[in-house]
Every structure is written in structure tokens, then in C-alpha cells.
Amino acid sequence: MLQASFQKHTLNFKRPSGTSRGVLNTKETYFLFIKSEESFGVGECGLLRGLSIDDRADYEEELMGVCENIELGVNQLDLYEALEEFPSIQFGVETAFKSLYSKNPFELYPSQFTSGEAAIPINGLVWMGDKIFMKQQISEKLKEGFICIKMKIGAIDFKTELGLLKSIRKEFSASEVELRVDANGAFSPNEALEKLKMLSDLNLHSIEQPIKQGQWQEMARLCEETPLAIALDEELIGIFSEEEKNKLLDTIKPQFIILKPSLIGGFGGSDSWIKLAEQHNAGWWVTSALESNVGLNAISQYTFTKNSKLPQGLGTGSLYTNNIDSPLEVSNGTLRYNPTVNWNFQI
């Protein structure tokens, strides 16, 4: 007999974190608990207000329905498929069942990563802010040993952002430090190509979502003409069927796609995108969507099993004052799992 419940948890940022969609001070999330007579499992339903397709008034009602129907089980797929319009709940259900049926509820994908023998290379994330703040973050990331830095752009003026990137390139070549930028859809279609040309002069690795999602023809034109690799991010949100995913990749032909399991239907959704991306010769990497360490742990363990050689976007565990204490540690530009450290699940 399975029993399920959920609990809301508001994560507080240590310092306000800026994106082109605004400044984040808090982030809501929900923990889903499943209990059997012998064990328990936990998953995280990581909702991003204003971005998640399931940011809806009936979200908690849907979670209650999941708890009432938990006996359907994820293995029968009924529950998972019924939640198609709630990808963050799909992710929570999927990981909670995986947790329930694991020997250790926090070791979902046993590997050299969870044994502490191997690490995942990650990018150092630089948030938007004024020039001084962004420069300070860049300096910190380089001192911490990151060889891949991702800078969010599009909130302050473009010349200032270009100047910050130039200052890194003066000190470090592309072979020493990989630079990625994330525009979060900040450019207008008629100015995007010109800006991409200026950015490409700095030997960047890629740019995420240069224009707002949903403009398939404009994005396809950019991907065809760009001198800088384009990675689709928000573009993947709300695309549910395999047919529609295939149509998007066939139309836009991106160089990369970025997988955020909470936003695209968990690991089932991620597997589907990876398979199609590889058929379309598009690269991919995995990024967390500001989950707590519970969700980040599940995503990291899953990501390791995929054997990607690219730096992943998984360095978000230290953003909050009230995160869940976990064995996840960022060290020298990598994410590690320290099996000697215990989980402290107190909320």
C-alpha cells in the first residue's frame, strides 16, 4: 500500500539573481513523498514561475490528485502520461518512484559519480547585474577553477556585456576558458544576427536562446546564418509529442539543445529529446532549473549516466540560504558527490 503527500518549500536566494526576465529573490518548489511499508521516496516538483508551462492556478490541486492516485504507479505509465501538461510534476513523480525503489532513497543511479570516484564538469554561472557585480562574479569563478563560464546577458546594455567578455578573452584564450552566453530571449529578431557576429569575434562556444521562443522561422534563419552556435532552451518548453519535437528540430535545425528535466517532462522527456537531437545532428547538455539539492541530485546522477563530454549546467546548489544539506560539492569546476557526507532533509 503506497501513501503520498507533498510539501511546499520556498527557497531563498543568498543574493538577488538577475535574468533578462527579472530579478529572482525566492523560488517555490514542492517535495513529493511516497511511502510504502518498507521504504520511502522523495522527488522534487521544481516550478519556475513565469516560465514553466505548468505555472497554473490548479498546480496544487493536480499534486493532490497525484497523491490520491499514487497507486497507479510510474511503471504503469498511466500516472506519468496523465501528467503531460505538468512536466515538473512528471519529474517529481518519476524521481520519487525511483527513490522509493532504490536501496538508498538519494542514490537513484548508482555509478562512479555516486561512489565519489568521478565528477561532472560544469559551467560557472555569472548572473546579470551591474558591471562591477558581474566582473566580481567572473573573477570568483576563474579563481574557483572553472574552465567553462556561462554569462547571462540581455539585461544591461550590450556594449558593457561585450566589454566584460572581451576582458576575459584578453586574459584567457578559448582553449583555456570556454565562454557561453545565455540571452534568455532578450534580442529582437532584426538585431540578433548582428549581435551574434559581434559575440562570435570573441570565440564563444555558444549562445542560448538569442530570441524569444515560438518564433520558429526567425530562429531557423538565425541557426542557418549564425557564425556562433545556437542552443535552444526555452524553445523546448510546452512541446509534448514526439511529432512536435521532431517538427521543431526539423524546422529550426539548432546546433545544440538544452535539457531541463523539470521543464520538459523529467527523464522520460529528456531521453526523448536526446534521441531526436542525435538523429538531427544536434548536440545537447543538461541544466538544472534552480531546483533544491533534491532535484539537482537526481538530475546530476541521471546526467552522469549519459556520458556527455560537455560541461553541464549543474552548479546551482549553493544559491540558497535554506537548501537541503547534501553530499553534492562543487570543486575545481566540477560537481562531485561525496559519499562520506550525509543528507540532512529538514524543511
Q: Tell me the torsion sign for CA atoms 310, 256, 168, 203.
A: positive
Res 76 pLDDT > 70: no
pLDDT at residue 319 in the model: 87
Which one from 141, 150, 152, 195 is the annotated catalytic residue? 152
pLDDT (tens digit, 9 = 90+) per residue, 278-296? 999 999 999 999 999 999 9
Least confident range from 60-69, 129-138, 316-325: namely: 129-138
- Arithmetic mean of pLDDT, 203-216: 97
Integer Cα distance of 19 and 337 in angstroms: 28
Is 260 tagged catalytic?
Answer: yes
Is 152 tagged catalytic?
Answer: yes
Compute the half-sphere exposure of residue 270: CA atoms within 13 Å on the CB side of its CA: 24
Closest CA to 251 of 278, 281, 230, 221: 221
Q: What integer best gives the mean pLDDT of the chain?
A: 92
- Give all domains of the chain, ordered by start, each with its CATH number: 3-100 (3.30.390.10), 120-337 (3.20.20.120)
**pTM for the complete prediction?**
0.94
